[in-house]
Structure 1
Amino acid sequence: MGSVFSKILVANRGEIAVRIIRTARDMGIKTVAVYSDADRDALHTRLADERVRIGPSEPKLSYLNSKAILQAALSLGAEAIHPGYGFLSQNAQFAQEVVESGLAWIGPPPSVLKLAGDKLSSRRFFAGSGIPVVPGTLEPVGLEEAPEAAEELGYPVVVKPAGGGGGIGMFVASSPSDLRDKVEKASRLASASFSRSEVYLEKYFPRAKHIEVQILGDEHGKIVHLFERECSVQRRFQKVVEEAPSPSITPEERKEVLRLAVKAAESCHYVNAGTFEFLFDLDERKFYLLEVNTRIQVEHPVTEMITGVDVVEQQILIAAGEQLSSTLSSLNYSGHAIEARIYAEDPWSNFMPSPGRVSRLELPAGPWVRVDSGVYEGYTVPEFYDPLLMKIVSWGQNREAARSRLVRALKELVIEGVKHNRSFLVNVLQHPRFVDGTYTTRLLEEESLYRVRGEEGAATPDTERRERGAQDKAQKVSYWRLLARARF
């Protein structure tokens, strides 16, 4: 394949940086890796053609240092920047600076990033475009306005930051007495995490599914979907296990959610890869748009496994001005795929991150098993970033084949030196409600699966001592990341 760019800079780290570098290499494109002091020996720096230090270990001084990243791209002759997910991937100002510098931004244009980055303006826009959004307020609410708005919506309600994401600052309030505390807490965390304290309310649906649609759009106005994913296994509004296609909807419902996603993407002139996320109320069998993720998603491999489409490759081609292939309009999917996220964290101690050296690593293999990893044996997991180690993805001709294959793959995985969530994920995949597909977004909460110990978390005489010491260990973890991963 001839290259559309000769060199791109990957403005990220970990498994997603490795993922992007590998596709770029397949396309004949040279890559530049950026790294902080903590990532000097990271896998992505070893795989890239060039590497450049951008700052100290703290994210705000390195991976969030837009000036250093842009300077690195320009000085090393990169023609484009791929931001991956997280960090600066949805920063409209940075995207604008990249474009103004003469480089290509491998992602949605700044106008779309601005629209989707503000949850309230996004809700107003899509509601005005005829897309059903989750019932809730379209303006910020404070302690005075919240009670009346909640009564009108009906309890329970979700308090959400207007400028946030990743589950940070989101709380469910089940009564008027509970609401004040949750609004104050959400506002405080939103201010600390996003430098913006505004919050709003949405109706909370206890029996719901999280269904999202992968969208691609080119600069010539063409929009296509790559079918849907289900991401209903969640902890604190963060995804744990994802699968494609959804086992929870009928063919007619699939057509409806795909239609809504394409209509929403067309209404905002979406360009590049994005995910339109919907809440599916099981009682009414109705879809509501939750939000738009204007970047590549952690769970994109399940879509790739059932469609055969390399989403990163499409991102690069679109950013280079290429038109989407006509074959994407008539694409179908094959089989079923499931993804499990492997974190260096302790499920049996409130999911506290577990930085440290990976002293032993044996990865699963075999037919129809994919591992997207950012670590290697001997690698030291830094304390400064999200502790995602890798993603293990399985494909099968049907859902049960994919599920059982993923369980097998997880049981083959060996990681020593850091705590991890392997047995927790096996527990989830073997739970009867996951096996039969009836699980909802409340599965982990209702079944208390994070309290079921596996072999890595087997009760020992020092279990209580270790759990009491979890908070001490957490002091080493960046505050905003701790907030994102802790259960409240």
Structure 2
Amino acid sequence: MIEKLLIANRGEIACRIIRTARDMGIATVAVYSDADARALHVRSADEAVHIGPSPAAESYLVGEKIIAAAKQTGAQAIHPGYGFLSENAAFAQAVIDAGLIWVGPKPSSIEAMGLKDAAKKLMRAAGVPVTPGYEGEDQSVERLKSEADAIGYPVLIKAVAGGGGKGMRKVDAAVDFEAMLESCRREAKASFSNDEVLLEKWITSPRHIEVQVFGDAHGNVVHLFERDCSLQRRHQKVIEEAPAPGMDEATREEICAAAVRAAKAVDYEGAGTIEFIADASEGLRADRIFFMEMNTRLQVEHPVTEEITGVDLVEWQLRVASGEPIPLAQDALYIDGHAIEARLYAEDPNGGFLPSTGALDHFDLGTEGRIETGVAEGDMISPFYDPMVAKLVVWGETRDEAIDQLAGIAEGVEIWPVKTNAAFIANCLRDEDFENANLDTGFIESKLDSLVSSDEADDGIWQNAADFIALAELEEHDDLPMGFRLNAPGVLATTLLHKGQSRTVAAASSLNELDATGFVDPARAVVFADGQAFAFERQSRGSGAAAAGDGAIVAPMPGKVIAVDVAEGDTVTAGQRLMVLEAMKMEHALTAPFDGTVTELSASEGAQVQVEAVLCVVEPVEE
């Protein structure tokens, strides 16, 4: 058995591998770039080696540095995780040539499945159903156009060395073919240094079905059933589940047997995935499920397979890499219940799903389900790597139970100030068509507008923000007299600013029935609800029952005073504008928290002010 393992990856997959290795008594070595110097996977491993600057091309993708780190620390084996060098046959061979154990398939197997055109020819020879198309060597525009016309439109152009959704173009009509081909080739050349393409018949109601396979050095190959990964956005998976909804036993048996034939055709060892595209226009049928490609590594979505089979796939990888046979025979494997995984990304759905980077000042994913993450509170989401924050995984006795569990977890996500797709995940899961398994790979794009929640706070969220501030005020003023009522006139009102809108909101009559969670700091209140974070800048704080100083109007952020509407001694009413602050290219009106008198005024028009600077003080009207 391997005694010391180097993990040539980062983030949640590195943490995942470390966990199993520790359970098996295997020491672990992490590698890290400048950006990951304090990362969770570095803190979790027994040892860690710095391998270069933050860009992956100068650190995680430099095979020589990885192998040197293994030699330096006395590691016997290298686990590549997924991404980076995991499907690089040359790196796998270099590891083996260095006298180390490669936790993965043989380089020849990786190479055989590395090019989509060659893989499809190999699969066809092995009796695996393949999508109708063209994988020929003649790459002339004329030949490709002729083949596309013969296949019939719509047709899909795919880079032979593609992956991750790059180098793919759907062509709906012959007149568009040459322009789409040129675009696809240009992207393929830039991404993979290979502009060769293949053609496939476009499947009109496609579902992405994949089968987990596992082989060993003793000639054994088993499958661990299928997963459905149809919920995708721009060819990137968002939600995966196992087993595939609507898959009957006969179809499952046939497609899983085809996956085993595919693995045997390349003498496969270790964990791998055979990916299929299904024409689901008439449900899942074996004669309408076609081979797409093989991923010669562990997949991001492997936890759902583990949840329904009770197998630890990383443990299997380490045992097989150590020379042991697969721990279970095919007839000992069975499906138990239903599992679903969602990929929680640091991205802004309201901003076109652009990545959101920065510090995780507040980070709470709850305690339910299985959480696979590579970050903790206080860590950074770096711009250098994939923006995945965590994988949220659940198991249920039924699919409905699993859906409800996972939606609840997504709705309870609390992350600030980094934005996430948690609310988007919950909306996908709660969608009626998803619940009824009416899905295909176009599901998200066809429903995008309805799946993206508004980031505008409703009245209830505003009220919650005021209530959280009221609770904070009460904690600061624990000398309030007995019988004090929160719903007394003018008591614990606060003026808040959210997305350019200002409101003065009084605390609720009871603070024991808050329907959200959140926190308060000197500058803001943040409310978490339904997977989103709503931030409210605190323009002022005040309490009619407390001292006049509680009516201090403070700057919610650094800015410039562009208007002052009052003078010392003026009488003002609750909500009346006192001055305007320009900050972050927006105008912020600062208003009176209650009826009163301006007793101090330190702000002047044109002045630059810092966050939390007291600009004026309003003394409340005496009752």
State the TM-score, normalizing by the size of structure 2.
0.71
- Return the match for 2:100 from 98, 103, 106: 103
- Give yes or no for contact 1:15–1:372 (8 Å, CA) kept in 2: yes
- Give yes or no for contact 1:173–1:179 (8 Å, CA) kept in 2: yes
Alignment partner, residue 124 of structure 2 = 127
Distance 1:399 1:93, change over 3 A: same
1:310-325 aligned at under 5 Å gives the runs 310-325=312-327
Report whether the alignment pairs 1:421 with 2:418: no
Q: Secondary structure at the match of 1:163?
A: strand
Per the TM alignment, residue 184 of structure 1 is displaced from its structure 2 partner at its CA by 1.3
1:60-209 aligned at under 5 Å gives the runs 60-139=57-136, 141-209=139-207
Q: 1:84 and 1:42 mapped to 2: Cα distance?
A: 17
Q: Secondary structure at the match of 1:144?
A: helix
Q: Secondary structure at the match of 1:160?
A: strand
- Greater alpha carbon shift after TM alignment, 436-445 vs 86-95: 436-445
Distance 1:75 1:333, change over 3 A: same
Q: 1:53 and 1:409 mapped to 2: Cα distance?
A: 35
- Give yes or no for contact 2:316–2:327 (8 Å, CA) kept in 1: no
Indicate the RMSD between aligned Cα atoms, in angstroms.
1.6
Larger Rg, first or second structure (1 or 2)? 2
- Give yes or no for contact 1:142–1:183 (8 Å, CA) kept in 2: no
Alignment partner, residue 343 of structure 1 = 345
Q: 1:311 and 1:462 mapped to 2: Cα distance?
A: 50
Alignment partner, residue 482 of structure 1 = none
| Counterpart residue identity of residue 260, structure 2 | V
Q: 2:443 and 2:456 mapped to 1: Cα distance?
A: 20
1:31-430 aligned at under 5 Å gives the runs 31-139=28-136, 141-283=139-281, 285=285, 286-366=288-368, 369-430=369-430
- Give yes or no for contact 1:348–1:457 (8 Å, CA) kept in 2: no
Per the TM alignment, residue 327 of structure 1 is displaced from its structure 2 partner at its CA by 4.5
Q: 1:351 and 1:124 mapped to 2: Cα distance?
A: 37
| Counterpart residue identity of residue 8, structure 2 | A
| Counterpart residue identity of residue 12, structure 1 | N
Tell me the percent identity: 47
Report whether the alignment pairs 1:453 with 2:452: yes
Q: Deviations over 1:88-127 (max 9, x none)?
A: 0000000000011110100111000001111111111111
- Give yes or no for contact 1:423–1:455 (8 Å, CA) kept in 2: no
Alignment partner, residue 474 of structure 1 = none
- Greater alpha carbon shift after TM alignment, 109-118 vs 262-271: 262-271
- Give yes or no for contact 2:204–2:281 (8 Å, CA) kept in 1: no
Alignment partner, residue 437 of structure 1 = 437
| Counterpart residue identity of residue 125, structure 1 | L
What are the ranges of 5 or more consecutive residues in structure 2 without an aligned counterpart?
459-497, 502-623
What are the ranges of 5 or more consecutive residues in structure 1 without an aligned counterpart?
464-488
| Counterpart residue identity of residue 47, structure 1 | S
- Give yes or no for contact 2:4–2:28 (8 Å, CA) kept in 1: yes
| Counterpart residue identity of residue 253, structure 2 | K
Q: 1:310 and 1:372 mapped to 2: Cα distance?
A: 14
- Greater alpha carbon shift after TM alignment, 174-183 vs 40-49: 174-183
- Give yes or no for contact 1:339–1:393 (8 Å, CA) kept in 2: yes
Q: 2:412 and 2:392 mapped to 1: Cα distance?
A: 11
Q: 2:87 and 2:23 mapped to 1: Cα distance?
A: 26
- Give yes or no for contact 1:159–1:199 (8 Å, CA) kept in 2: yes
- Return the match for 2:6 from 5, 9, 12: 9
Q: 1:269 and 1:375 mapped to 2: Cα distance?
A: 37
Q: Secondary structure at the match of 1:108?
A: coil
- Greater alpha carbon shift after TM alignment, 196-205 vs 57-66: 196-205
After the TM superposition, list the runs of 4 or more consecutive aligned residues in structure 1 that deviate by more than 6 angstroms.
Answer: 457-460
Per the TM alignment, residue 178 of structure 1 is displaced from its structure 2 partner at its CA by 2.1
Q: 2:377 and 2:454 mapped to 1: Cα distance?
A: 21
Distance 1:448 1:455, change over 3 A: closer
Q: Deviations over 1:440-478 (max 9, x none)?
A: 1110122225x6432557798679xxxxxxxxxxxxxxx
- Give yes or no for contact 1:302–1:338 (8 Å, CA) kept in 2: yes
Greater helix proportion: 1
Per the TM alignment, residue 139 of structure 1 is displaced from its structure 2 partner at its CA by 2.4
Q: Deviations over 1:206-259 (max 9, x none)?
A: 212111110110000000111110001111222110000011221111111111
Q: Secondary structure at the match of 2:367?
A: coil
Q: 1:391 and 1:397 mapped to 2: Cα distance?
A: 20
